[in-house]
Structures are given as C-alpha cells and as structure tokens.
Amino acid sequence: MDSAGVVGSFALLENGSGKFTIANLSHYKDTASSPLSSFFILPSLIALDKGIINHNQASWASLDSTTYYQNIITQIGRQTIIKIIDSIHYGKGVVSANMDEFWKDGSLKITADEQLGLVKRVFFKELPFQKRSQEIFKKMILKEDNSNYKLSYLTAADPTTNNTWVVGYEEENTHIYFFVLHTTGKTATASNNSVTLLKKILLQQGFLQGLR
C-alpha cells in the first residue's frame, strides 16, 4: 500500500474457510483510530429499531452525511449511545460530551480488527437489534450488484489527518468475504482514493470477476 501513497492495513476474511489475508498485522490488530463516520453503523441500527429512520429506501441518507447523522444521534441521546457501545464492546475509550464529534475527536477509537468483527456481526444479524433493521442496513450499504458479485461497504475519511476507513464485504458465487482497509494517506489525494485502492487490492486477489 505504501506505493499508493498510503500507510495502514488491509484484511480480508473468507467466511467459509476462515482464511485470513492480512497486510500489516500489527497495524490491523493494535492501531486504534477514530472511527469517523464508519461509527454511523450504530446510530443507523438504533434509529431503524426506533423508527427514526423509516424503512422506505428513498428516505435513506448517505452514511457519510454527517449533519444527517448528527441530528439522529441527538434524537437517540447520549445515554442510549453509550449503552449500545458498552453492550457490544465497541472500540476503546469513552464517548466525550461533544455529541457532534465524539466519533472523530479521538475520545473513541477502534482497531481494524474490531471493525471487521462488527461488519461480520451485522451481516449475520448478530447484533442486539431487530433482525429486520440489520437486513435493511445491509441494503443501505450495498454499492454494486451485478452478475459477478455484490459489493457492500461504507467509507469514512478525515481530510485533516487523511485517516480513512473502508469496511464491508463482497459476495461472489455464494461465498462471503469480509474486508477492512484502514489507511493514513501521505497526501489528501491518496487518502481520498481509498475505495479505488480497495478495488485494486480485491482485483489483485482475484475478486470482482465472478471467478472465486
């Protein structure tokens, strides 16, 4: 990844075999960073359960719409957010009093390993939310769906630090592959190309072609 102008880690888990492919193990396991807007997984699920987000696809906002999710988090309330974070053992640290920025101000941090585990639990509807809410959330993050594969992910980026996340999974020939890409760009341009980098890595590994 360094040749792409970024440093960080990439991991891919083949669910059927349990095989892991990891680039930069120490970073993947030990480096905790602010989740940024990838944290919006949790308020999305809470809001779906509570009816704050309805089940009409046309009403869904982009997961990187910070203003939209700040409003949702305010409606949910700090105590409910903290309770859910504690119940699923999400990340490290505490939720700061700043409800507009705790997911990006460094008070709450998460590792790439934890991110991968979380998206896997979402896929199998194992989180303490209604199964219907988790199924709807999976539709919210579906980005590509064609005859060869389905690609689902959410992204997050901080232009001030070039810290980026791409978290999700690929479905190909009935097999599921979970992935996480966590990078810190040497330049803002490199950081903003995290999805392009993800697809490049997946193609190099033989994915996105219907051949797996």
Query: What is the per-residue pLDDT across 57-96, written as a single tens digit (0 to 9) for each?
Result: 555 666 567 888 888 999 998 889 989 999 999 988 777 6
Higher pLDDT, 112 or 190: 112
pLDDT for 60: 62
The count of other CB atoms within 10 Å of the CB of residue 53 is: 23
* Residue 189 reports pLDDT greater than 70: no
Please state whether the predicted TM-score (pTM) of the whole model is above 0.75: yes
Give the 3-state secondary structure of residue 135. Answer: helix
CATH architecture of 2-204: 3-Layer(aba) Sandwich (3.40)
Q: Domain map of the chain by residue range?
A: 2-204
Buried b / exposed e across 86-124, counting CB within 10 Å, b at 16+? eebebbeeebeeeeeebbbeebbebbbbbbbbbbeebbe
pLDDT for 209: 79
pLDDT for 1: 61
Contact 6, 182 (CB under 8 A): no
